[in-house]
Amino acid sequence: MPRVSSKDGGSPSQIPAPWTTSRCHRTLRQLNRLVARLEKWHKAFLSASEKPPTLEDKKLEAEQPPTWLAQVSKNGRRSQRRYTGRTRTAPRTPLPKRQRKSCSTALTPHSGDIRSIPNIARAAHSPTIQLNGDYHTADIVHESVSETYEGSHRWTAHTVHLAKDYESIIRDARTIIPAFLVATSGPEHDSHGDDLGSEEESDCQGPKSLMHLCLLKLSRTTIEQQKHNDANKNGYDGQQDIMGGQLQELEDYFGDSERGWPQLRVLTRACGISMISRLIEARAIPEQTAKMLLPRSRERLLFSDFVEAVSESLIEASFNSNNSDIDFHDMPGLDLMFPPPDGPVDVSSPWRYNLSIRSMVRALQTRQNPLHLISRHIRWKHLAFFTIVCRECKYDPCSLSCCLLEGVFSRAISYPPISDWHTLRGTNRCSHIEYGSESTPVDDIEMSKSLWKRLKMTFYFMLSLSCGANPGALATLIERISRMAQVQVDLGRAWQLPEFQQLLVAQIFFGELCRLSLAGYEVPDDLLRSFGSLLRTMSSPSTICKELGGTIIALCRAWSDVERLVVRLLSIKCGEWQQLSALLAQLAANGAMEYAAEHLEEPSILSWASDFHETAGKHIKNIMVEHENPFDVGYRWDETVEEWVAKTPATRPNTEKSFQEIIAGDPRRDENGSIAEQIPGRRVLHQHSPTCSPSAINGRRRTGNKLKRRHLSDDVEVHMDGDFEYKKVRRGILPQRASRSSPTETAGDHMPRMHGRQHQHLEEESEAELSLLQ
Q: Does residue 384 belong to any structural domain of this protein?
A: yes
Quick one: pLDDT at residue 61?
A: 58
Res. 423: pLDDT tops 80: no
Asked whether residue 670 falls in the same domain as residue 754, the answer is: no
The predicted structure's pLDDT at residue 100: 46
Q: Are residues 548 and 690 in the same domain?
A: no
The pLDDT, as a whole number, for residue 642 is 66
Domain boundary among 113, 132, 157: 157
Candidate from 211-225, 251-265, 657-671 with smallest mean pLDDT = 657-671
Angle (CA) 73-76-82 rounded to 5° is 30
Angstrom distance (rounded) from CA 713 to CA 724? 20
pLDDT at 227 > cutoff 90: no
Judge whether residue 212 has pLDDT over 50: yes
The Cα angle at residue 127 between residues 121 and 132, in degrees rounded to 5: 85
* pLDDT 10s digits, 301-333: 778 888 888 888 888 887 776 655 555 666 777
Three-state SS at 15: strand
Domain for residue 506, yes or no? yes
| Mean pLDDT in residue range 390-418 | 83
Name the DSSP letter for residue 394: -
Task: With a cut of 50, say whether residue 366 has pLDDT above it.
Answer: yes
For residue 527, being part of any structural domain is answered with yes
1 is a domain residue: no
Can you tell me the mean pLDDT for 711-716?
Answer: 59
CB 384 within 8 A of CB 334: yes
| pLDDT at residue 718, as a whole number | 76
Closest CA to 577 of 524, 542, 533: 533
Q: Are residues 683 and 750 in the same domain?
A: no
Burial class (CB in 10 A: 0-12, 13-18, 19+), 392: exposed
Q: Using 50, 70 and 90 to split pLDDT, how confident is the model at 408? A: very high
Q: Mean pLDDT, to the nearest integer, of 510-535?
A: 90
Residue, of 434 and 654, whose pLDDT is higher: 654
> How many structural domains comprise the chain?
4
Q: Band of the pLDDT at 154, cuts 50, 70, 90?
A: confident
Same domain, 555 and 678: no
Res 82: pLDDT: 52
More confident residue, 645 or 177: 177
Q: Are residues 403 and 447 in the same domain?
A: yes
Tell me, yes or no, whether 666 and 741 share the same domain.
Answer: no
| The domain boundary residue, chosen from 541, 560, 579 | 560
User: Count of residues for the chain?
Assistant: 774
Task: Give yes or no: residues 401 and 541 share one domain.
Answer: yes
Is the model's pLDDT at 275 over the cut of 80?
yes
CA distances from 30 to 77, 114, 260, 301 (A): 44, 21, 21, 23
Amino acid 131: pLDDT: 35
| Rounded Cα distance, 751 and 763, in Å | 14
Q: Which residues contact 273 (CB under 8 A, 6 or more apart)?
A: 305, 306, 309
**Does residue 572 fall inside a structural domain?**
no
Domain membership flag for residue 152: yes
Does 697 share its domain with 741?
A: no
pLDDT digits (tens, 9 = 90+) for 589-648: 888 888 888 888 888 888 888 888 888 888 888 775 454 555 555 556 666 666 666 665
φ and ψ of 333, to 5 deg: -135, -165
Query: Does residue 304 sit within a domain?
Result: no
* pLDDT reported for residue 505: 93
Residues 763 and 663 in one domain: no
Asked if 395 and 455 sit in the same domain, the reply is yes
CB of 12 within 8 A of CB of 4?
yes
Domain check: are 670 and 763 in the same one?
A: no
pLDDT at 675 over 90: no
pLDDT tens by residue, 5-33: 444 444 444 567 788 888 888 999 999 99
For the ranges 527-541, 611-625, 695-709, the maximum mean pLDDT occurs at 527-541
Helix (H) or strand (E) holding 474: helix 474-490
Average pLDDT value for the chain? 69
Domain containing 137: what range?
53-71+101-157
What are 78-104's pLDDT values in tens digits?
Answer: 545 554 455 555 555 554 444 444 444
Domain boundary among 560, 577, 602: 560
Which ranges of 50-79 would DSSP assign to H, the alpha helix? 55-63, 67-70
Q: Are residues 555 and 688 in the same domain?
A: no
CA dihedral 618, 620, 626, 627 (to 10 degrees): 180
**Residue 233 amino acid letter:** K
Let me know if 334 is exposed, middle or buried by CB neighbors in 10 A (0-12, 13-18, 19+): middle
Type of residue found at 637: W
Q: How confident is the model at residue 508 (pLDDT cuts 50, 70, 90)?
A: very high
Q: In terms of Cα–Cα distance, which of 278, 279, 286 is closest to 219?
A: 278
Q: Would residue 225 count as lying in a domain? A: no
Contact status, residue 326 vs residue 318, Cβ threshold 8 Å: yes
